[in-house]
Amino acid sequence: MIHIKTEEEVLLMQQAALLVSNTLSQVAAILKPGMTTLDIDQFCMQYVKDHKATLSFYNYHGYPHHICASVNDVVVHGFPNKIPLKEGDIVSVDLGVILNGWHGDHAYTFIIGEVPADVLELVKVTKESLYKGIEKAIVNNRVGDISYAIQEHTEKAHGYGVVRELVGHGLGKSLHEDPQVPNYGKRGTGLKMKENLVLAIEPMINMGTHKVFTEEDGWTVKTQDGKMSVHFEHDVCVKKNEAFILSDFSIIEAAEKANINLNSSYY
Ligand code: MF3
Ligand code: CO
């Protein structure tokens, strides 16, 4: 079902989205080689609880952790584990919270230490594609316009693989509301968007083939060719002239930059 939000509800959702952004910016500040994704999970869990919110993913359809931490060829829904992150890894941290009854759900892909140039490029282009999609999230455009913009920038322009099996979604009192927001598709198709429709837009882009498989744990999605995959997600409110982005990457990016400078000063 599609739920259009009131102005007040949009602002409450912004609070939830910003709690996720704040948490991820804290993660950005402390990430370094040797840290495990389980450390990140515990940190996020505590931070969210300390801010009077609960975790959306924990026990969602039986999901057994607080966050998704997807390293390298893991596309999404990676289980946090005790394997230390190492220089050259990338990790998508996907966090969902419920604050005052409203969900915030977004994700950011972090790099650990120095990463090969082609991987950096995949990270950059995937983030760019998210903003290309967001540009289309305006009143009277269609969901397919978002999908098309993301696919054009990633598959067409750079030859990357757009994951088909997983999609973005409406967001509100539920983690997943209609409509689905695929990262591939045709312009001018799909739902015509109304003001204050809130969407989680989340390109999952592979360096190689778009094909993925799910591991025996029933959750972990990986690339079939073992190549890297990147995932960024923003919570976005449809508006007349320009989408209103509820989540905020700038605080994450600032913390990321400070952390990189801090760690590189050791060399
Ligand atoms: N951002 C992802 C999504 O919207 C995360 C869901 S993980 C789950 O599907 F565990 F909650 F399923
Ligand atoms: Co999502």
Please state the rounded mean pLDDT for residues 165-192: 98
- List the one residue out of 38, 35, 33, 34 whose CA is nearest residue 81: 38
Q: What pLDDT sits at residue 267?
A: 47
pTM: 0.97
* pLDDT at position 107 over 90: yes
- 52 in a structural domain: yes
3-state SS track over the chain:
CCCCCCHHHHHHHHHHHHHHHHHHHHHHHHCCCCCEHHHHHHHHHHHHHHCCCEECCCCHHHCCCCEEEEECCEEECCCCCCCECCCCCEEEEEEEEEECCEEEEEEEEEECCCCCHHHHHHHHHHHHHHHHHHHCCECCCEHHHHHHHHHHHHHHHHCCEECCCCCEEECCCCCCEEEEECCCCCCCCCCECCCCCEEEECCEEECCCCCEEECCCCCCEEECCCCCEEECEEEEECECCCCEECCCCHHHHHHHHHHHHHHHCCC
* pLDDT at position 266 over 60: no
Q: How far apart are CA 152 and CA 158, in angstroms?
A: 9
The CATH number of the domain holding residue 184 is 3.90.230.10
Query: How close is the Cα of 258 to the center of ligand 2, in Å?
Result: 27
Number of domains forming the structure of the chain: 1
Q: Is the pLDDT higher at 60 or at 266?
A: 60
Please state the rounded mean pLDDT for residues 71-89: 98
* pLDDT at position 112 over 50: yes
Q: What pLDDT sits at residue 261?
A: 79
Query: How close is the Cα of 170 to the center of ligand 2, in Å?
Result: 9
Ligand nearest to the CA of 60: 1
- 133 in a structural domain: yes
* pLDDT at position 237 over 90: yes
Please state the rounded mean pLDDT for residues 240-263: 94
* pLDDT at position 133 over 90: yes
Contact 27, 40 (CB under 8 A): yes
- 87 in a structural domain: yes
Which residues does ligand 1 sit against, CB inside 6 Å? 57, 60, 63, 68, 77, 94, 105, 107, 169, 200, 202, 233
- 63 in a structural domain: yes
- 2 in a structural domain: no
- List the one residue out of 123, 81, 93, 96 whose CA is nearest residue 29: 93
260 — pLDDT class (breaks 50, 70, 90)? confident
Q: What is the dihedral of CA 24, 243, 98, 80, to 10 degrees?
A: -40
198 — pLDDT class (breaks 50, 70, 90)? very high
- 249 in a structural domain: yes
The residue whose CA has the least distance to atom 6 of ligand 1 is 57
Q: Which domain holds residue 32?
A: 7-266
Please state the rounded mean pLDDT for residues 249-265: 88
Query: How close is the Cα of 44 to the center of ligand 2, in Å?
Result: 17
Query: How close is the Cα of 168 to the center of ligand 2, in Å?
Result: 6
* pLDDT at position 155 over 60: yes
- 43 in a structural domain: yes
- 1 in a structural domain: no
pLDDT digits (tens, 9 = 90+) for 17-39: 999 999 999 999 999 999 999 99
Average confidence score pLDDT of the chain: 97
Report residue 230: phi and psi, to 5°: -125, 145
